[in-house]
Structure 1
Amino acid sequence: MNTALPFVDWFRHSSPYINAHRGRTFVILIEGEGMVCDHGEQLVQDLALLHTLGVRLVVVFGIRPQVQTALSEAGIEPQRHEGRWIADASIMAHVERVAAEQRLWLEARLSLGLPNTPLHGIELTAVSGNLVMAKPLGVRGGIDFDHSGEVRRVRSVAIEGLLDQGAMPVLPPLGYSSTGEVFDLEAAEVAQQVAVALKADKLILLGDAEGLHDDQGRLLRQMSPAEAEPQRRQADVDSEISRHLSAACAAARHGVARTHLVSWRDRDALLGELFTRDGVGTMITQHRYEQLRPAELGDVAGLLELLEPLEARGMLVARSRERLEHEIDDYLVIERDGMIIGCAALHTYPDEAMGELACVAVHDDYRGGKRGEMLLTEVERRARRQGMTRLFALTTHTSHWFFEHGFQLADLADLPTLKRDTYNQARRSKILLKSLG
């Protein structure tokens, strides 16, 4: 039984996401490398699972490595310019053949319903077709790109109709023109344009890299398009990360709520990104999913859950629901994807122009990210706006943190009269004071 407990715990914590994702539209790009060997089989099974959970899926697949292999075997070396190969007739013959083979492979796997497989009993209708219209890149820098093209229009009404019928549109990196021509497209651009046209809730880009990293090699969990742009500009124009960042930033700027960069190399990446609070890759979004804001009455339950372990350890004075509701306007919270992970309060004593920094708390899982400093900075800003000239705090466990942020030891006589009269002698809290001048 014990071996099942971690799974049960994960399942309980994933339930809010299962509910939140039901009925949502996700556009998922699987790059060509992710379609081979066991990686592709696992991804197909995860797509089927998402489908059974009520997610409306559009799948875009890449074929770059497969086409490159086919060209090498045929002794064809494509001419490249600005990160794209020039798709002449000989290259297009291979592009079209490989795209058809990959689409058939994917549709066959999505139809697999054998006993003892994760897809047993699941019926998926995968549909492809002329759902993306294209136009030629034309002549650029004196180079005629021939049948290399770009997306002109996405037939969003047709795709929405398929989704409404419970089907899963499967789109190759090909586009069609009104004159009956076929064009080679970038898979990442197709995914981005489809996500924007459908006003998708998520665009998920499964590539080689797990996401973006900072200068110390640490994974960046969340970035805005503006924050991601420098990395895009530094990347090689022909690199996968350049294509993915271009798609992610453009999608975010055009209304796609969240774009996720995750790796097909991690067999758990897709589900881990969607059903855990922190995910496993990098999310590009215009809207912060972790924000510092004033507390609201609806946050009281989250505050109680955050504070209870600290109160049990004697680090904080116990606060009742009624007290939190009464003082809610004094509180700031850090909310992360619907969960309260940090808080602080400012209680003011206007007659003495003093404020109390109280109830500073950060969830154990989210310490070390300077969230305490963020709360302190905002409390100080709020105190100054209200005319406070000094800030005090009472603590039994964390005096060194306050010392590091400019507080000094003080005496009982330094407290406002009302606070001095209610000081709990049994707790013997250290009194710390900081000037806001």
Structure 2
Amino acid sequence: MILLDYPYTSDFLIETVVRNQFPVVATPEAKEILLGRNAKLISEKEAIAFIKANPLQPVYTNSENSIAWIQQNLKETSLPDKIETFKNKFRFRELIQEFYPDYFFKSASLIELRNLEISHFKFPFIIKPAVGFFSIAVHKVDSPEDWQGIVSKIEVQMEKTRSLYPKEVVSNTDFILEEYISGEEYAFDCYFDQNGNPVILNVLHHVFSSEYDVSDRVYYSSEEVISKLHQPILDFLHQIASKIDLRNFPLHIEIRETEPGKINPIEVNPMRFGGWCTTADLTWFAYGINSYEYFFHSKRPDWEKVFEKRKDKKYSLILLDNQSDVAQEDIAYFDFDAIAKDFEKPLHVRKVNMDKFGVFGFLFTETSKGNEKELDEILHSDLKKYMVLKVKN
């Protein structure tokens, strides 16, 4: 069963749904997305009854937006509680605490922050909303002297949300204060099969241009990345499985490798793979693995076979966002043909509405070992060279 929702559903996912006739819950959003397609739509009432009667039915959604539908309509199932376990960062840290006994984390409400005694905390640490429905109020605290200034910033940021959320929600927002995790950052898609066994579908290295870079410009996958982290990730997933019953359950997880072979999770996103149909679609363009079909058909990648013909290659997901000083309203269009020509082997160019979504699109590429310069250049580029500006009168 699939829940399709905005902001974005890729043509590849839609084609997969139609070709396999995967049942799609007929929400208003799904009907709009699949308009004119020969998809197998199931009424919301029928879908709710079927999932309640078949609690191990695989359910996948491409968007965080659909979680509200699950929480509202499937209260009698275990899905809402499992989702909350991962969405609430403090609750998830409690779940895995025994595996990271020295890891510092603490919960505090918004009104408690001002008078919180932090002198004995482990520095640096990160403070962020425990449930990520805000994209704001995430800060790194380097020393006790920084605290009051950061709390002031958080209070201002949260005040701005009062027009979007009820006062009770904002005032009662819980925060998690947790140890800063150093190391190389990675993201991966996975699922637990009907027997509760974890299956890894891809692993990507999130590359930054500097220690101050927080962008999502470049992620890449390769034989080296997957081979290095496959077993540590499996061990981590088995730890999760020992704490919570997960069957036919997909996840997108961000981690850091703190030491060779040792990983620590940053964030866990339930019920889906990477947002905007990015990481799952890259797995197809790169490796010929359809992550959606693998999940619903309970298939496992044969990595040895996959890499027989993909030696010394890097497969990248590149976010084309505006990091220049050019105002969006001054851009006539983005030259996708020009940027594609600057890469050895573009696999797919995904164009999106810049005015609506704030990014130009995504680029999926294959890069040979020794030609990583093209990835380094795009990592540091503000993309201004690909922007065609409007003619001013």
Question: What's the TM-score, normalizing by structure 2?
Answer: 0.23
| Greater RCO (CA < 8 Å, at least 6 residues apart) | 2
Structure ID, larger Rg:
1
Question: What's the TM-score, normalizing by structure 1?
Answer: 0.21
